[in-house]
A = this chain, B = another copy of it.
């Protein structure tokens, strides 16, 4: 059962009106729907307080594999802070989505298709999304390549509201094994699509600022997605970025900007609300959108 989203920051309301103007005349305009909802169980989970500390973990390979081995150990949506001081005051968010009538092929198609025009990106979250583009659109458009060849290591330049703050970042999507997930476990869990990446300040891969993990599998009646976000830096990001010191420099950068535990908590919560809103919404439009534009 779903319920209507009741809160939208004024800056998002303004962005939503602008996006509604921009999309006029596009062939996919009818898929722009500002009516947002989320599953009641996610709403209740995310408003029940921050996760207890034993549910929050650093993104080590061991922890990530333990999570993927049993993603139902986590609530359907949750947020909190992992405060390891000099190793990071790290905003943590997790979620599980069931997306009816979606499959991992549609998901992969969407991750590429929406990057071609910023108006497509706004279908996903009409009030929060501003633009997303790939560094190498030609490679992204080359249908002789696999999704992974087109999408991975092809920088996404993402601009969007997370809460009332504009996030302007570059994200490098990489194979999930680069995070430390074992091939064996990915197969055992039936993961058939991954959009997992690490983010850095624009133009500077030496300062890692966030990671996000989306792992998708096909299940009866649709697709299931398991997600993790770390939206403020942690030293462990160096391992994932495969750039020595990138995580530590991210931590120092965040601290120099005045990051506190309260900010990190707010960041983690906003990410959880954003996630439950945008993926619920994407699942509502994706099957029909794919039916109409999936051959492009």
Chain A positions near chain B (C-beta within 8 angstroms)? 3-11, 13-14, 17, 38, 40, 43, 47-50, 79, 164, 262, 265-266, 269, 273
Are the CB atoms of B6 and A38 closer together than 8 Å? yes
Q: Assuming the A-B contacts A3-B4, A3-B6, A5-B6, are A17 and B49 also in contact, with contact meaning beta carbons closer than 8 angstroms in the complex?
A: yes
Residues of B within 8 A of A4 (CB): 3, 6, 40, 43
Q: Assuming the A-B contacts A6-B3, A6-B5, A7-B273, are A13 and B164 also in contact, with contact meaning beta carbons closer than 8 angstroms in the complex?
A: no
Q: Supply 21 A–B pairs (Cβ within 8 Å), ascending by A.
A: A3-B4, A4-B6, A4-B40, A5-B6, A5-B7, A6-B38, A6-B43, A6-B47, A6-B273, A7-B7, A7-B273, A8-B47, A9-B266, A10-B50, A10-B265, A10-B266, A10-B269, A11-B262, A13-B47, A13-B48, A164-B266
What is the bound-complex CA distance between A99 and B272, given in angstroms? 33
CB distance from A130 to the nearest CB of B (A): 17
What is the bound-complex CA distance between A8 and B273, given in angstroms? 10
Counting chain B CB atoms within 10 Å of each CB, the highest count among A4, A10, A14, A273 belongs to A10
CB distance from A12 to the nearest CB of B (A): 9
Closest to A8 in B: B47
Closest to A7 in B: B7
What is the bound-complex CA distance between A2 and B272, given in angstroms? 24
What is the bound-complex CA distance between A43 and B34, given in angstroms? 13
What is the bound-complex CA distance between A4 and B7, given in angstroms? 11
Residues of B within 8 A of A11 (CB): 262
Are the CB atoms of B14 and A49 closer together than 8 Å? yes
Closest to A44 in B: B4
Known: A3-B6, A4-B43. 20 other contacts (CB 8 A): A3-B4, A4-B6, A4-B40, A5-B7, A6-B6, A6-B7, A7-B7, A7-B273, A8-B47, A9-B266, A9-B269, A10-B50, A10-B79, A10-B265, A10-B269, A11-B262, A13-B47, A14-B50, A17-B49, A164-B266
Residues of B within 8 A of A79 (CB): 10
CB distance from A237 to the nearest CB of B (A): 23
CB distance from A57 to the nearest CB of B (A): 19
